[in-house]
Structures are given as structure tokens and as C-alpha cells.
Amino acid sequence: MQASTPTGCFFTDTTVILSEILREHIARLEKFKKDVNFHNVPCFITDSIKQECDTKIENTVNFLGNITRESIAMALEDSRKNRRVPIESPMTSEDIIALEELFSLLHKATRATLQLTSPIQIVEEWAITFLGEILERGTEINISQFLVELVKKLLSLAGSIQDPYDELITFERSFVKKINIVVDASIVDSLRGLGIHEPDATHIACATSHSIRSGQRSVFVTFDYGSILSKKNDIKNALNQICCDPLYAIYHLTP
């Protein structure tokens, strides 16, 4: 039996772009990119998606560079004051316990504001592993010395986010290309009526508007199970717009 040739295009959601940048959902995205390249399927990112990604990446990098560093320094200093331990004394396991409380708060803050928790998790894992190894070796390190190493890690992590983002979006050197779409407001309204909130309604409406004007089938590819994929049948029935996980995307373009 001869395999069917996929016809149509993909529109990528913010969750797909950010997962690629942060190296999340690796197996699913590798299959998706392989499908895109093997079948030469156009894969688009709209202005609305780019704007949302720009904001989240910028906020995350700023959060890492400012709030995280300042919060860690403050938490350690406050802990020392409460324990009446000189600020210049070598760090101990009690300082690690103080960081445990802080990172718990930072995780809550990132979920509520940035929705990107993996960078904070990376900082947490690095900090505790780094200090743990110092203590195991019996080596002394004070808070000032630790903060110097922390800044190095934060700068490296910020670069590991911004650089691949520029490669993927700014310079279009990977699997997605930017596209300008004039969105049909009535489609946005229909999606809102289905309980799809902004900016998701505009994101999906771009794919639907493109399909209507070009006569080309489109698939909106997302990892957002809570807000989008939970309503994928409603969206399909109302607008004939397919929304799916990247793992299954190519099969929705096969006749």
C-alpha cells in the first residue's frame, strides 16, 4: 500500500515554541520536526504567537537576572539574621534549608506570572547540587562567593534560552517560518463563545482564517490540554479547525 502524501500546513502554538526552546517534550517535538522536514510541510508562527513568546521569554530572562538573584541573596541574609549567624561565615546545610523555602515560593510565583517553571527548577537543582558537593568535600564557601557562582549560572541559563529563541524565531533557522495573517473577527468571536480565551482565540483564528482564504487544510499544534485540546471537538465541529498534540499532527494532514 502506498503511503498518502500529507497536504496542508501547521500552525504552532506558544506552548510548542517554548517547549522547543526549553527542551521540554523532547520525544514528541523530535517526531514532529522529523515529520515536518520529511514531508516538507509548511510550519508557521503568527504575529500573535511571536508576541506572546517574546513577552514570556523577556519576562523569564528578566526574572532570572534580577528577581531570582536578589531573592536568593535576601533569603540567605534573612535566614542568617534570624539564626544570629554572621553573614560572612561559611555556608552550611541550614542555608540550604533556607533555599528550600525560597524555591518553593519562586515556583509558585513563576506558575502564576511567567508559566515557565523549568528555568527556576534548573537554578534550584544547580544551587543545591553545587552547595551539596561543596559541603561533602569539606570546602568552605561564603554567601558572597556563592552569589558570584550563581550569577555565572544565571547568565549562562539566560543565554541558553535567548540564543535558541533567536535562532528559531528571529532568524528562522529551524522548522517554523513567520506568517502575517489578517484575522477574521467573527472567527475569534466564535472561539470565545466556545470558552477559548485570549490570546488563544486569536492564535487559533489565524489558522482558521488562513484555511478559509487559501483553501488549504491547517492543523493548530499545541501542548495546551487544559484550555485548547480539552475543547478540540467543539472547535472542529464549529469551525472545522483541527487542534492536536504535535505527536499526531502529521496524520491529520493525510487524506
Summarised one tens digit per residue, pLDDT across range 161-175 is 999 999 999 899 999
Question: What average pLDDT does this structure show over 216-242?
Answer: 96
Quote the pLDDT of residue 1.
Answer: 41
Residue 4 — pLDDT band, cuts 50, 70, 90? Answer: low
Quote the pLDDT of residue 2.
Answer: 47
What are the sequence ranges of the domains in the chain?
Answer: 9-54+173-253, 58-170
Quote the pLDDT of residue 114.
Answer: 62
CATH 1.20.120 is the classification of domain 9-54+173-253: no
pLDDT > 60? residue 79 = yes
Q: pTM for the whole thing?
A: 0.86
Percent of the chain residues topping a pLDDT of 70:
96
Task: Choose among 54, 26, 16: nearest CA to 219.
Answer: 16
For the ranges 21-25, 116-120, 198-202, which has the lowest average pLDDT?
A: 116-120
Quote the pLDDT of residue 124.
Answer: 94
Residue 242 β-bridge partners:
219
Question: What average pLDDT does this structure show over 81-98?
Answer: 96
Question: What average pLDDT does this structure show over 87-100?
Answer: 96
Quote the pLDDT of residue 115.
Answer: 58
